[in-house]
C-alpha cells in the first residue's frame, strides 16, 4: 500500500467515524411527541405552553402532535376557541346527547394521536381540573412510551398517585428542566431507558 493509499484509507476512516458520531447525535430526529395537558379548564385553552414548546422541539426535528392544532381539517375534531364554547353551551343547556357525539370524536382522535406517538410530554397543573390529560398519561404509560411530565410548582405539588405509576426521574419542575433532559438524550450525553426509548436509524 502506497503512502497515497494510506492517506486515502485514513481519510475514509475518519469520514466514517464522523458519520457514526453524527448518528449518535440527533437521536430524537423524526420521533413524534404528543403534547398532553388541560384544555377544558385552561384559561388559554391550553394553547400557550404548547406554542412556546413546539418551536424548540421542531428545531431538534421532533414531530409534534398537538390536540390544540390537530393535523386534521375536520372541524368536529377541534376542541378550543369557538368549538369549545359550543360544547360548553351544549352542556349548560342539557343537550348531553349532542355533546356526547362530539366528544366521542375528539376523544377518539386525541387518543389515536397518543397511540401513534413515540413519546408523550405532559403538562400538569394541580390547580387546574383535568380528565383527558390523565387518560392520555395512563395510556402512554401502559404502552411503555417515554412519558415526560412537567408539573406546575414542581414534584412536591404532584399527586401522590403519580409516584406509584411512573418513575419520578421523568417528572420535571419546569420546561427548562425538560429541555435539558431531552437535549442530553438527543446528544447521547445520557443513556435512554431502552425499555421505553426505541430509536430507529433513518436512512
Does 29-186 carry CATH code 3.40.50.450?
A: yes
In angstroms, the CA 147 to CA 177 distance is 14
Q: What is the pLDDT of residue 14?
A: 47
- 39-43, 80-84, 159-163: which range is least confident on average? 80-84
Cα-Cα-Cα-Cα dihedral of 159, 164, 165, 171, to 10°? 60
- Is residue 17 over pLDDT 50? no
Higher pLDDT, 38 or 9: 38
pLDDT digits (tens, 9 = 90+) for 139-180: 999 999 999 999 999 999 999 999 999 999 999 999 999 999
**Residue located via cell numbers 421532533:** 62
pLDDT at 196: 75
Residue 102: its pLDDT value, please?
86
Q: CB within 8 A of 175, min separation 6: which ones?
A: 49, 52, 53, 150
The strand pairing partners of 35, in sequence order, are: 121
What is the C-alpha separation between 57 and 61, in angstroms, rounded?
7
Residue 21 has a pLDDT of 44
Which tens digit of pLDDT belongs to each residue from 179-195? 999 999 999 888 877 66
pLDDT recorded at residue 1: 53
Neighbour-count burial for 133-147, b at 16+ CB within 10 Å, e otherwise: bbebbebbbeeebbb
CA angle 105, 110, 113 (to 5 degrees): 130
pLDDT at 197 > cutoff 90: no
For residue 149, give the 3-state DSSP assignment: strand
Amino acid at each position: 500500500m502506497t503512502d497515497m493509499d494510506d492517506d486515502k484509507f485514513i481519510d475514509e476512516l475518519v469520514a466514517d467515524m464522523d458519520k457514526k458520531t453524527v448518528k449518535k447525535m440527533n437521536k430524537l430526529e423524526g420521533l413524534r411527541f404528543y403534547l398532553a395537558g388541560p384544555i377544558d379548564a385552561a384559561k388559554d385553552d391550553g394553547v400557550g405552553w404548547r406554542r412556546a414548546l413546539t418551536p424548540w422541539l421542531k428545531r431538534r426535528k421532533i414531530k409534534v402532535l398537538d390536540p390544540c392544532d390537530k393535523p386534521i381539517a375536520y372541524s368536529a375534531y377541534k376542541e378550543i376557541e369557538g368549538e369549545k364554547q359550543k360544547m360548553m353551551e351544549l352542556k349548560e343547556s342539557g343537550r348531553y346527547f349532542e355533546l356526547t357525539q362530539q366528544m366521542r370524536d375528539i376523544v377518539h382522535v386525541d387518543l389515536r394521536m397518543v397511540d401513534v406517538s413515540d413519546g408523550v410530554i405532559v403538562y400538569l397543573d394541580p390547580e387546574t381540573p383535568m380528565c383527558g390529560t390523565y387518560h392520555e398519561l395512563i395510556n402512554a404509560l401502559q404502552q411503555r412510551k417515554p412519558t415526560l411530565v412537567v408539573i406546575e410548582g414542581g414534584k412536591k405539588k404532584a399527586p401522590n398517585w403519580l409516584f406509584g405509576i411512573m418513575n419520578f426521574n421523568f417528572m420535571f419542575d419546569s420546561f427548562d428542566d425538560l429541555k435539558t433532559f431531552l437535549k442530553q438524550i438527543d446528544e447521547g450525553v445520557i443513556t435512554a431507558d431502552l425499555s421505553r426509548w426505541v430509536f430507529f436509524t433513518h436512512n
